[in-house]
Amino acid sequence: MVFNSYGFLLFFPSVLLLTRVCPLKWRNGLLLLASYLFYASWGKRWCVLLLGITILVYVLGLLLERKRRKYLFLLGLLGTLGALLAFKYLDFGLYSLNALLAKLGLGAPLPRVSLLQPAGISFFTFQAAGYLIDVYKGKYKPEKNFLRLALFVSFFPQILSGPIGRGDQLLPQYEKPQKADFSQLRRGFLILTWGFFLKLCIADRAAILVNTVYGSYESYSGIFLVFATLVYALQIYGDFAGYSYMAIGAAEMLGIHLPKNFDTPYFAQSIQEFWRRWHISLSTWFRDYVYFPLGGSRCAVWKKYRNVLIVFLVSGLWHGAMWNFVVWGAIHGLYQIFGGITKPLREKMLNALRVDRETASYRLFRMALTFLLVDFVWLFFRADGLGAAIAMLRVIFTNLTPTALVGEAFYTMGLDRQEFWALLLCTGGMTLIDALRYRGHGITEWFGRQNWLFRELALAAFMLIIITFGTWGNGFDASSFIYFKF
C-alpha cells in the first residue's frame, strides 16, 4: 500500500476516524495495529523481522540502562544494522568480491545470495539503531513500555521512507498522546495535499520524461541528457519531498509531530547548506551517529575531510548497493572538501573583485551554481549503473549539440505539448511556494489565517487540480516512490 493508492485513501481515513472516536488511551494500540497492517501489505513475513528488531532494541535498551556494556550495545547494532547489511548489501558484497577475484584471476566465483529486500528496511533499522545509540550514550532513558517502542519503530506514515525519527522527539509524544485539534488537522491535511501535488503533478510527470530519455540515452544527443537530468532534479525532489510531506501531514492529523525532512533544498547556496536542507533526518543521523563519533570537525583538517568523505561514501552506499551511488556520495564528499580547501582563496578573490555578497544577484548565482553541481551528480544517482552514467557523460561531452533542443524537440521526450506545459506550470507553482518558504513565510500558517470560505474554496480547487492534472490511475506505476527501494 502506497500513499497514492485507493487502499491508502480508505485505510488512512479509517485509522484517523478510529483514533478520534476511541479513547485517547487506546490510540497507541490502534496506531500500532494500523502500522503492522500497513506494513503487512508489503509482505506479511517482514512483520516478523520488524517485530524481531523491535524486541531486540527493547530488551537491549533495558539491559543497557542497568549495565552499560559495550558488547550489548554492539550486539544491538549488529542486530539492527546487521539485518540491513544482510538484506541489502550481502549480494552486492559478493558481486564486488567476485569481480575482484575475477580480475586477480583467483578461484571460482562465490555463490550469490539474492535476498528480497524488505520495504523500508533502511529507514526503520536506522531509527532503531539511533534509539539504541542514544540510550547507550545516556541521551535519554530507554522506553519501558513495549507498545510505545514498537510504535516508535513501526509508525506507518514514516516506516517506508522516513523521516527517520529520534526517540527523544517521538517517544514523549507516544507517552502523552494528544488528539490533533482542528487547526492541526487542517494543517496536516494541507501538508498531505501538498505532498500529493509534488508527487502526482511534478514527480510522476517528470518521471515520464526522465525514464524516456534515460531508458534510451544512446538515441539522444547530449543536450537532451542534460535536460533530462535537470528534470530529474525535479522528479526526485517532488518524489521524496512529496512522500515526506505526505508522511508528516498524515502523522500531524494523527496528533504526531514528525521532524521536517526537506527545507527548500534547491535554494541552498552551497553544497554544505544543501545537505542541511535535503533529507534532513538522514543527514542529521549521519552527522550525529557517524560524523561526530569519527571526530567531526574538531580535529586535524585532514581528519575532518576524511570524516566528511566517509560519511558521504556511507550515505551513497545507504542509498543503494551499487557503485553509481557510491560515486554519487563520493562526489558530494569531494565537493565539500574542495569547497573547504578553496574557501580562503575564494574569499580573497571575492574581496579583490569587491563582490558584494549581500546582493540578490550574488545569492542567485550561488544558488544556481549549487543547483548545477547537485544536478550533475544526480546523473550518477539516476543512471542504471556506473557504466551507464559514464556512457551518458561521454555523450554529453562529445555530442552535446545544443541546437537540437529547440521548439518541438521538447515534446519528443515522452511528454506531449500539454503535459510538458503542465509540468512547467506545476514546477512554477512549486518554486513560488518554496521561494516564499525560503524567505520565511509560513504558507500553512498564512493559509490558516485566511477567511474560512476562501480557505475551503482554495483547498477544493487545489485538490481538483491534483485530481485533474496529476499523473495517477490505471496505466501509471503508482508504487514507484524512488526512496522505497532504498
Partner 1 sequence: MHPASFISSFKRVISVLVLLVLVISGVLFLSRALAITDGPEKNGAFLRDDRQYDVLLFGSSHMVNGIYPMELWKNYGITAYDLGGHGASLAASYWEMRLAVEKHKPKVAVLDVLFAGSDYTEMEMGLAHELFDPYPLSRLKIQAVRDIFANEGDRMELLFPLDVYHNRWKELDTEMVERGLEGFRNLSTEKGAQTRVEVYPLEQAPLLDPSDCLEKTSVALGYVERFVTYCLENDITPVLTYLPCQISEEWQRACNAALRLGEQLGAEILNMQNMNLIDYAIDWYDDGSHLNPSGALRTTACMGSFLQNQLGLVDYRQDAAYSVWYDDYAAYVACQMERMKELSTAGQLLSLSALDLFTVEATISPDFSDQTVLHQLQSLGVTPAIRKDGPDLELIIRDTQGNELVHKCFETETTLTETVEA
Considering the complex, state which of residue 343 and residue 417 has its C-beta at the smaller distance from partner 1.
Answer: 417
Smallest gap from Cβ 391 to partner 1, in A, equals 33
Smallest gap from Cβ 341 to partner 1, in A, equals 51
Considering the complex, state which of residue 398 and residue 474 has its C-beta at the smaller distance from partner 1.
Answer: 474
- Beta-carbon contacts of 2 under 8 Å, excluding residues fewer than 6 positions away, are 8, 478, 479, 481, 484
Taking CB under 8 A as the criterion, the residue among 105, 344, 407, 475 binding partner 1 is 475
Considering the complex, state which of residue 433 and residue 465 has its C-beta at the smaller distance from partner 1.
Answer: 465
Helix, strand, coil percentages (3-state) for the chain, rounded to 5, are 75, 0, 25
Is position 13 an interface residue for partner 1 (rule: CB under 8 A)?
A: no
- Beta-carbon contacts of 354 under 8 Å, excluding residues fewer than 6 positions away, are none
319 tagged catalytic? yes
Smallest gap from Cβ 159 to partner 1, in A, equals 22
Taking CB under 8 A as the criterion, the residue among 110, 147, 432, 467 binding partner 1 is 467
Residue 454, amino acid: F
Q: What is the DSSP letter of 269?
A: S
Q: Tell which residue, 254, 220, 272, has the closest CA to residue 394.
A: 220
Smallest gap from Cβ 232 to partner 1, in A, equals 23
| Residue ranges with strand state E in 166-313 | none
Smallest gap from Cβ 464 to partner 1, in A, equals 4
- Residue whose cell numbers read 540502562: 65
Q: Which among 257, 319, 332, 441 is annotated as catalytic? A: 319
Residues 368-397 binding partner 1 (CB under 8 A) are none
Q: Tell which residue, 14, 85, 92, has the closest CA to residue 325.
A: 92
Is position 416 an interface residue for partner 1 (rule: CB under 8 A)?
A: yes
Is position 470 an interface residue for partner 1 (rule: CB under 8 A)?
A: yes
Taking CB under 8 A as the criterion, the residue among 67, 70, 107, 182 binding partner 1 is 182
Element (H, E) at 220: none
Residue 370 half-sphere exposure, CB side, CA atoms within 13 Å?
22
Considering the complex, state which of residue 340 and residue 448 has its C-beta at the smaller distance from partner 1.
Answer: 448
Is position 21 an interface residue for partner 1 (rule: CB under 8 A)?
A: no
Q: What is the DSSP letter of 472?
A: -
Q: What angle do CA 45, 46, 49 make, to 5 degrees?
A: 110
Considering the complex, state which of residue 106 and residue 453 has its C-beta at the smaller distance from partner 1.
Answer: 453
Q: Tell which residue, 433, 401, 396, has the closest CA to residue 202.
A: 433
Is position 474 an interface residue for partner 1 (rule: CB under 8 A)?
A: yes
- Residue whose cell numbers read 537532451: 224
Taking CB under 8 A as the criterion, the residue among 49, 419, 431, 447 binding partner 1 is 419
| Torsion sign over Cα 465, 467, 472, 478 | positive
Is position 463 an interface residue for partner 1 (rule: CB under 8 A)?
A: yes
Is position 457 an interface residue for partner 1 (rule: CB under 8 A)?
A: yes
CB atoms under 10 Å from CB of 428, counted, come to 10
Is position 455 an interface residue for partner 1 (rule: CB under 8 A)?
A: yes
Is position 40 an interface residue for partner 1 (rule: CB under 8 A)?
A: no
Catalytic residue ranges:
319
Residues forming the site for partner 1 (CB under 8 A): 6, 182, 416, 418-419, 452-453, 455-457, 459-461, 463-464, 467-470, 472-475
